[in-house]
Amino acid sequence: MKYTYIGAVLIACLALGLCMSPAAASNNFGTGSAFLHQGQTHTFSVTVDFFSQSQIIMTPPSGANFDLFAMQRDPRLMCPSASEIMHFATYSSRNGIGLQESITLPQGTWCVVVFAQFGSGTYRIFENQIPTPMPTVPIVTPTIPPAGPGLHKQDIQFANAAQGQSTVFVYQIGGGRTAIEWFAQPTNCNTFEPPIVMSSPESIKTMRQVLPACNLNLDMYVYMNCDPRYSRCTALFADTSVGSGAYVGIPFPVVGAKYYVQVYAKQGFGPFRTIARSYVDNNTPIVMMSAGELFTAANVASPT
């Protein structure tokens, strides 16, 4: 857990006693206190480790009403103004005069505001990071689809994802392929099952939906003959839509080429699977689908 205070008018995190080293990540807590006049705020940034939750408890001074707000932010950006955080807060606690305020934050980077709504004085704040169980990949025996219209081969891979991290899969393309498609889907919720026969625009749209229960939003980047783990590559095609699942399809892939498929966790964490299917039949939907259905972006840089 890391804390950083924002703004010149705010006290330093050391004064609050909330600065923690990266080693103090689990089963540790921070405590501190600071003075606020009525109408003032303190803003600080909180980074909650992977597979953890952070409980923040704030006790106001006697007879005062201090509130607590938190808004998730992009870790590459600074926290916005206190008023914006309070207005768009993901979590807030506003219990009233003299009452303790508490919020629990999941994994991610957060902007937290303490607001002296009524009264002045010294508040105390307490933080405890609670580990959550590491997601496990369910043991699934892949089902090999029956011989259908043009389906040549299916490959299923399982992995774990954490926000801001990527997993790369490599595929060598043999001769005679008329199309290849990839799905990336969380497996810790009600996962949409791709149809046995090649996907249609309707099924792709369904898979790209945001599924809050999954706690995981995935992007997919597809490169040809360039490994993004070791080189600066430009993805031929990508699915960067806001959704839990990701899909990219390519008609007539290049024979002999290596396709590197990068699955990037844009938000959240958890287990996922990547399904690759290749086809040897010209009479398949993917050959006739539009670019906007097969991918959402082209010629884009790697996300990391």
Do 2-131 and 151-301 come out as alike in CATH topology? yes
DSSP 8-state secondary structure symbol assigned to residue 213: G
Which of 19-28, 184-193, 240-249 has maximum average pLDDT?
240-249
Please check the confidence at residue 232 and state whether its pLDDT lies above 60. yes
Instruction: Determine the Cα angle at 104 with ends 98 and 108, to 5°.
Output: 135
Task: State which fold the 2-131 domain adopts.
Answer: Jelly Rolls (2.60.120)
Q: Report the pLDDT value the prediction gives residue 222, as an integer from 0 to 100.
A: 95
Q: Mean pLDDT for the chain?
A: 76
* Tokens describing residue 93: 């606690």
3-state secondary structure (DSSP) of residue 23? coil
* Tokens describing residue 273: 């699977």
Q: Report the pLDDT value the prediction gives residue 244, as an integer from 0 to 100.
A: 81
Q: Report the pLDDT value the prediction gives residue 277, as an integer from 0 to 100.
A: 86
Q: Which helix (H) or strand (E) holds 10?
A: none
Residue range 163-170: mean pLDDT, rounded? 89
Q: Which amino acid is at 122?
A: T
Q: Which helix (H) or strand (E) holds 28?
A: none
3-state secondary structure (DSSP) of residue 86? helix
**Which has the higher per-residue pLDDT, 74 or 27?**
74
Distance of CA 148 to the CA centre of its chain: 35
**Which has the higher per-residue pLDDT, 287 or 252?**
252
Q: Report the pLDDT value the prediction gives residue 179, as an integer from 0 to 100.
A: 83
**Which has the higher per-residue pLDDT, 287 or 206?**
206
Please check the confidence at residue 147 and state whether its pLDDT lies above 80. no
Please check the confidence at residue 139 and state whether its pLDDT lies above 60. no
3-state secondary structure (DSSP) of residue 214? helix
Instruction: Flag whether the pTM goes above 0.85.
Output: no
Cβ-in-10-Å burial (0-12, 13-18, 19+) of 228 comes to buried
Give the confidence band of 191 by pLDDT, cuts at 50, 70, 90. Answer: low
**What is the C-alpha separation between 158 and 252, in angstroms, rounded?**
26
Q: Report the pLDDT value the prediction gives residue 132, as an integer from 0 to 100.
A: 61
**Which has the higher per-residue pLDDT, 120 or 50?**
120
- Sequence-ordered strand ranges (E) for the chain: 2-5, 29-36, 41-48, 52-59, 65-72, 91-93, 101-105, 108-118, 121-131, 151-162, 166-172, 179-186, 216-224, 234-239, 246-251, 258-279, 297-301
Identify whether the C-beta of residue 135 lies closer than 8 Å to the C-beta of residue 269.
yes
Residue range 196-221: mean pLDDT, rounded? 68
Q: Report the pLDDT value the prediction gives residue 290, as an integer from 0 to 100.
A: 53
**What is the C-alpha separation between 304 and 30, in angstroms, rounded?**
32
Residue owning tokens 């082209």: 298
**What is the C-alpha separation between 184 and 248, in angstroms, rounded?**
9
Residue range 22-35: mean pLDDT, rounded? 51
Least confident residue range of 7-16, 47-56, 57-66, 69-78: 7-16
Of the options 3.40.50.720, 3.90.870.10, 2.60.120.380, 3.40.140.10, the CATH number for the domain spanning 151-301: 2.60.120.380
Instruction: Give 179's Cβ-side CA count (13 Å radius).
Output: 23
**What is the C-alpha separation between 117 and 69, in angstroms, rounded?**
12
Identify whether the C-beta of residue 171 lies closer than 8 Å to the C-beta of residue 177.
no
Please check the confidence at residue 178 and state whether its pLDDT lies above 90. no
DSSP 8-state secondary structure symbol assigned to residue 111: E
Q: What torsion, rounded to 10 degrees, do the Cα atoms 173, 253, 228, 22 define?
A: -90
Domain borders along the chain are 2-131, 151-301
Q: Which helix (H) or strand (E) holds 85?
A: helix 82-87
- pLDDT single digits (tens) 116-136: 999 999 999 888 877 765 544
Label residue 136 left, alpha or beta by phi (over 0 means left) and psi (-120 to 50 means alpha). Answer: beta
